[in-house]
Amino acid sequence: MVNIVSGREGLCLQILQNCRNELCDLFPRLDVAFSILSYRERSEPGFATDGENLLYSPMELLRLYAESPSRLRRGYLHILLHNLYRHWMRPADIRRELWDLACDIAVEQIIEAEDIPKLGSLGHLAAKCLHMLGKFPVSAETIALRLEEGYFPYSLQEMREFFPFDDHACWERKPPAAVQSRWEKALLRAAGQSRGGGGRRRGVNPGIMEEEAPPVESARTDYRRILRRFMVPREEIELDEDSFDYIYYHLGMEQYGSMPLIEPLEYREVYRLEELVIAIDTSGSCSGEAVGRFLSETWGLLSGQENFFRRMNVFFIQCDCEVRDVTRIRSRDDWKNYRRRIRIRGRGGTDFRPVFREIERLRDEKKLKNLRALIYFTDGDGLYPLTPPDFETIFVLLKEKCRPDLVPDWAARLKI
């Protein structure tokens, strides 16, 4: 009996090792992540993870491998992505049943986007749900919100059957801090940011500091050229002196006293920005002087009359590893008023991804309708999204001690 059990255990480990090797060939940047997970048998049916181990039922593992090796490979990657995105850290304001399902949908969307035959395929209804989310990856937080709002035409019970593989019972017991740190480093590696140096302040450890804003001075950069490609035409109430003919004006004044034959046009077509998101990095890696410079550059952006329409829709976001403040600015007066009372919040680790999630939330709520660009003031040293958004992103970096080498290829870099 002992030989049978040990033989079965050896076969299971060999199958899992083969799956890992095949997945490493497909995703070489996940090599660090694959090295974190160990294997452990469980008495309960099915598969699970506790952040340190891939837990499996031997009989189910053997049955699934015999029926469909591609489904087992997909399931292995499914569990790995749960850990890579630290899905065992459930936000306090999201119910567990929503979070569990949202996390399953989020990782399956990432896997489906790879379109690799070796990973098998989902059922028709599951694929339909992913199609409703669009081609760009959506965070688990956003998916949970959509589930709560009834975005999908199926019940939660039905959708749980569309995305079955692992159970999440072990997520209530979070892995040790050292293991969490390893997953954070694995995510950096997966995003192509493991090139050493300056990583001390990257991460997801929140800061709790709040301080007065440094003095806001004049901006040193002319953003007109940078912003020009995001501008749109619109008529504004504005004297169009270029199309005004002074000859007819003076002729009317001379012939008829105070009655000009022509008056300046009150409307003028201009090219300016409608919507923009401006984010500043308030993490501990950015000094107070750097934050002050970011605010000065923001002031330069928003105070330039030639950049924005009179009625604008700009969101100003402070973020370290979490979004700390979101302020909507609809006019230059709004910005002037906010500038007087602004306080800097954060000083934790550096994670750029929450800003992108916040933008998706604002779009879902229709507060952003035609966003074309995000301008992010930072030193560049932090956790970036793995996939590009559907709007242009410009990371504005201070020349002193910045890390342009860490910025993903899909984003633009500007040194100031």
Output Rg (C-alpha) for the chain, integer angstroms. 27
Per residue in 258-281, pLDDT tens? 554 444 545 555 546 678 898 988
Could you tell me what percent of the chain has a pLDDT over 90?
25
Q: How far apart are CA 281 and CA 291, in angstroms?
A: 7
Task: Name the residue among 288, 299, 283, 307 with its Cα closest to residue 355.
Answer: 283
Beta-carbon contacts of residue 218 (< 8 Å; ≥ 6 apart)? 296, 299, 300
Q: Give the β-pairing of 265-281 and 373-378.
A: parallel
Q: Which residue has the higher pLDDT, 258 or 138?
A: 138
Confidence class for position 107, pLDDT limits 50, 70, 90: very high
Query: Residue 82: its pLDDT value, please?
Result: 94
pLDDT of 415 higher than 70 = yes
Comparing 29-33, 41-45, 138-142, 357-361, the range with the smallest average pLDDT is: 138-142
Query: Residue 191: its pLDDT value, please?
Result: 63
Residue tagged 């242009």 (tokens) = 392
Q: Which residue has the higher pLDDT, 137 or 395?
A: 395
Max mean pLDDT range (201-215, 222-236, 314-328, 341-355): 314-328
Q: Which residue has the higher pLDDT, 343 or 287?
A: 343
